[in-house]
Structure 1
């Protein structure tokens, strides 16, 4: 049985001993998934949730917190297949065990868009090809409540969801952005040997 302990936000923040910037740090997360989640990964192939209307991603609140989200790529087929299955298991656990419906904000991100986002304060420290998004190995997600995206970290319900989201993602071998210096609570990525920013044989552009 999967046991997820809900920790108070202050305690979670104090436990963030690993500080990493997006696209940097250890090459591979080698944690083993608990037996129940491992069974989910070995079971039926999960399919992405239904696509939401474009206007869901262009509300005033979303644009204020995450500028240019409306132009983000939410194509599941542009992401790595193994990563997609892990992320869908996270979504499944979050909905069925914790009552949080999750939505993909952005999956694959072009190097050009990465550089543009890097110019926006507080968005990302990674330049083109320094983010796992460019390799289809990262995704940003948020919660859907009453038909609206909820992203703000000032909402206790949302922060509780992010903490649970991070715990489930890490149990699936994913790296969670909530532990970084520039905290990105909705971000997860799959670090695998020989793939991603650290595997590039040529200098960053």
Structure 2
């Protein structure tokens, strides 16, 4: 085998190891950590507290948000997972029951609320007219509170989704 072929083989092996490591760190380990947690009946107290702080901080910036989803039972998650598969509609989740942070009270979904009460999922909308997207302002506040944003995910962008694992 020539030297360049050996180098290519080594690079290929390193790339495969890196991809495997990334999968374990970002997909497999979080799901395993969730499976070790007991199933609650509502939002975790810290998630609930930080959700209220998020709403108040957004309101101070002239942004009204509504939490459209919080805790979700495993049965509800399985029904949502069927959407776009065995039920009509678009695929909205890749998490089966027991794999979603919602099932453990560790996630919320939000929407912007306009003055007329209607909900908005427009990530470019600037209702407070300060030159910055209201959606991204809410996300910035959420991240400071310790939430991870589904809009940062590489595989499936879930823009309304915020999640955390409290210490």
Q: TM-score range by the shorter chain?
A: 0.5 to 0.7
Alignment of 1:89 with 2:38, yes or no, is no
The Cα shift of 1:192 comes to 3.7
* Residues 94, 100 of structure 1: 8 Å contact kept: yes
* Residues 81, 92 of structure 2: 8 Å contact kept: yes
Bigger RCO (CA 8 Å, 6+ sep): 1
Structure 1 spans left out of the alignment, 5+ residues: 1-18, 28-76, 194-205
Match of 1:129 in 2: 98
The Cα shift of 1:26 comes to 6.7
The Cα shift of 1:184 comes to 1.5
**1:146-185 equivalence runs, <5 A:** 146-153=116-123, 156-157=125-126, 160-181=133-154, 182-185=156-159
**Bigger-Rg structure (1/2):** 2
Among candidates 105, 110, 114, match of residue 73 of structure 2: 110
* Residues 46, 166 of structure 2: 8 Å contact kept: no
TM-score (norm 1): 0.53
